[in-house]
């Protein structure tokens, strides 16, 4: 039996590489806290919903993403401090859930459902059309003008309205490849 190929290169114990830092790594000292003023008040109100502070973690991360567009490592550290958790714990949770952006994304974050029920209705054509028309070109890559980041998403739970496309918070139903230019062009 020969060893299967690896995805990239080979591992060597003597190369004590550190895992690559994200490009968007931000110096902690430049970070402006999210949980001051109204956001803090909002979180305080949320904390009354639960018997533990930890339970407010997902809502707190949502607030961060709403305010900053993504969840940076300093933001994770802030959330950890506010809720009495450790940054590593918060990061473990953030990376579990697909909706928290760990990198900045385009002005329009476009999620196209391609799971089977939509897939049999032509969702892949919709993805191709969006990639082409948005200028993003590739999944997960932000278009040159910073407007679009497009990803395929697993079942959006609107299978009867294939193909559903989420653009930021907007849920657009029954998108066909033909409708793509009109939808994207209508965005401010």
Partner 1 sequence: MGFPHRSHPRETPVLSQHFGDPDARSLAGWRQRGGYRALEQALTMEPAAIVGIVKESGLRGRGGAGFPTGLKWSFMKPGDGKPHYLCCNADESEPGTFKDREIMRWTPHALVEGCAIGAYAIGAETAYVYIRGEFTEPLQRMTDAVREAYAEGILGPNALGSGKRVDVYVHKGAGAYICGEETALMNSLEGRRGNPRIKPPFPAVAGLFGKPTTINNVETLAAVPHIINNGAEWYKAMCQGNPKSTGTKLYSVCGNIARPGNYEVVMGFPFKDFLYDLCGGPPPGRRFKAIIPGGSSVPIQTIAEAEATVMDYEGFVAEGTMLGSGGVICIDDAQCMVKQIARLARFYAHESCAQCTQCREGTAWTTKIMERIEAGQGTREDLDTLLEIADNMTGKTICVLSDSCAVPVVSGIQKFRDEFEAHITQQRCPFRGAAAGGGVATAVAA
Partner 2 sequence: MTDRKMITLTIEGRQVQVPEGTSMLEAARSAGVLIPHYCYHPGLPVAGVCRMCLVEVEKAPKLAPACATAVADGQVIHVHSDKAREARTGVLEMLLINHPLDCPICDQSGECELQDYTYAEGRKSSRYREAKRFNPVEDFGGDVLYVPNRCILCTRCVRFMDDVAHDPVLNVSERGDRAVIGKFEDQDLTHPWAGNVVDLCPVGALLSKDFLNKARSWDLDRAASICPNCSQGCNATLETRDNVVVRIRPRPNDEVNRYFLCDEGRLDYRWLNRRDRIEYPHVRRDHALAPVEWEIAVDAAAVALRGRQAFVLASPGLSNETLFLLARIRDRTGGRGAFRVRQGAEAPLPGVPDLALRADRAANGRGAELLGFSRSETPLEGLRNGDVLIVADEELAGIDPASVATAVARAASIIVVGTTLPAWASGAAVVLPVANMAEEDGTFTNLRGRVQRYLQAKQAPGLVRPAWSALGDLLTALGESALYFLPSDVFAALAAAVPAFAGLDYDRLGLVGVPVAGDGAATAAAGALVGAAP
Q: Which lies closer to partner 2 via its Cβ, residue 93 or residue 172?
A: 93
Q: Which long-range contacts link 60-64 to residues 24+ away (Cβ below 8 Å)?
A: 60/35, 61/90, 61/93, 61/94, 61/100, 63/34, 63/35, 63/39, 64/34
Q: What residue has token string 């490592």?
A: 73
Is residue 8 near partner 2 by the rule CB under 8 A? yes
Is residue 89 near partner 2 by the rule CB under 8 A? yes
Could you tell me the two tokens for 4? 């299967």
Name which of residues 90 to 109 contact partner 2 (CB under 8 A): 91-92, 95-96
* Strand order through the sheet with 170-172: 148-153, 108-113, 165-167, 170-172
Is residue 52 near partner 1 by the rule CB under 8 A? yes
Q: CB-based burial of residue 135 (10 Å sphere; 0-12 exposed, 13-18 middle, 19+ buried)?
A: middle
Choose, by CB under 8 A, the member of 43, 77, 121, 184 that binds partner 1.
121
Choose, by CB under 8 A, the member of 97, 103, 137, 178 that binds partner 1.
97
State the minimum distance, in angstroms, from the CB of residue 161 to partner 1.
7
Q: Which lies closer to partner 1 via its Cβ, residue 53 or residue 107?
A: 53
From 15-23, 32-40, 49-57, 164-172, span contacting partner 2 (CB under 8 A): 15-23
Is residue 17 near partner 2 by the rule CB under 8 A? yes
Q: What angle do CA 85, 55, 91 make, to 5 degrees?
A: 45
Is residue 169 near partner 1 by the rule CB under 8 A? yes
How far CA 3 is from CA of 7, 8, 9, 12, 105, in Å, comes to 12, 14, 13, 16, 38
Is residue 160 within 8 A of residue 120, CB to CB? The reply is no
State the minimum distance, in angstroms, from the CB of residue 147 to partner 1.
20
Packed helices 73-83 and 87-94: angle between N→C axes, nearest 10 degrees: 120
State the minimum distance, in angstroms, from the CB of residue 10 to partner 1.
20
Residues that bind partner 1 (CB under 8 A): 49-52, 54-59, 61-62, 83, 85, 92-93, 96-100, 111, 114-117, 119-121, 153-162, 166, 169-171
Residues that bind partner 2 (CB under 8 A): 1, 3-9, 11-13, 15-21, 25, 73, 76-77, 85-89, 91-92, 95-96
């Amino acid at each position: 039996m020969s060893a299967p190929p690896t995805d990239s290169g080979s591992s060597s114990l003597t190369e004590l590489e550190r895992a690559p830092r994200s490009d968007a790594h931000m110096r902690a000292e430049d970070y402006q806290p999210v949980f001051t003023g109204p956001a803090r008040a909002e979180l305080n109100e949320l904390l009354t919903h639960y018997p533990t502070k930890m339970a407010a973690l997902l809502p707190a991360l949502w607030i961060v993403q709403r305010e900053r567009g993504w969840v940076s490592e300093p933001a994770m550290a802030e959330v950890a401090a506010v809720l009495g958790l450790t940054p590593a714990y918060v990061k473990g949770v953030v990376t579990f859930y697909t909706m928290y952006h760990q990198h900045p994304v385009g002005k329009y974050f476009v999620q196209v459902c391609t799971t089977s029920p939509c897939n049999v209705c032509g969702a892949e054509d919709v993805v191709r059309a969006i990639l082409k028309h948005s200028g993003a070109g590739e999944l997960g890559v932000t278009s040159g003008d910073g407007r679009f980041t497009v990803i395929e998403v697993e079942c959006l739970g609107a299978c009867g309205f294939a193909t559903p496309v989420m653009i930021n918070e907007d849920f657009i139903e029954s998108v066909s490849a033909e409708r793509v230019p009109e939808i994207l062009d209508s965005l401010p």
